[in-house]
Amino acid sequence: MCTRFSIASGVAAIEQEFQAEFQYEFHKVYNAHFGIELPVIVSGSENKIINHQWGLIPFWAKSPDLKFHNINSPASNIVKNPAYRVPIRRRRCLVLANCFFVWIRSDKGQKVPHVVYDASQRLMSFAGIWDTWNSPDGLQSKASFSIVTTHANKRLARFTRQMPVIIPPGRRRKFLRDSLHLNEVMAMLRPIESDSINLYPVSEAVNDFQLNTKEILMPVGQRLYREYTYVPRVYLKLEGMGSTKEIIPLVD
């Protein structure tokens, strides 16, 4: 499952990454949880970032009461589940995030929270579905979303059975396309197979739903997998000047 995540980048970085503009006053959410408003990009409005409530309320629900299990929609039964089968066909969205949390049982039996991130991209987009509930009298309306989950990839399978579906940057617009056939949608609901996925332990302070500070993202131990980094450099020959000169590093 995905029960907690963070969206901690600034407005400019998010808008540049997703080529979309916020339609509301965004504030960083270090401890995103069930029942709060969070940034999404919905099908049909790819250039806008809006806010929906986390926890899907189907359009046919008798009341807008939230149910915890609707924060995730497992890909394995998303086509058959009454709450999900219409949205997966017609109302898909991207849920914006920097990382998400998993809880790993230690040798002492304690559940230790860990941040899961992708070192290859600072910002991620989870596959999501959304819906809008309207009261019978037309006086109330609530837009909400659920994060699509799938079986964990090889790096996370040791710790959890499920993980959010992460849509790579090059496939984001395709996922939101209204005309996309259901078979193609389902083919995208797979775990990201990437060795760049990594984890590190954080303080148990994240367990407090009310706490929303960057300190909950601070590591309290080592990363679980070693990372290798290098700085590529570009060398250009300055034509007509008779020399080869190092220009600038591509990565700071």
Please identify which residue in the block is written with the tokens 């596959």.
127
2-52 residue pLDDT tens: 999 999 999 999 999 999 999 999 999 999 999 999 999 999 999 999 999
174-217 residue pLDDT tens: 999 999 999 999 999 999 987 889 999 999 999 999 999 999 99
Say yes or no: domain 5-249 is CATH 1.10.3720.10.
no
119-165 residue pLDDT tens: 888 999 999 999 999 988 878 899 999 999 999 999 999 999 999 99
pTM of the model: 0.88
Cβ neighbourhood burial of 165 (10 Å; 0-12, 13-18, 19+): buried
- List the chain domain ranges: 5-249
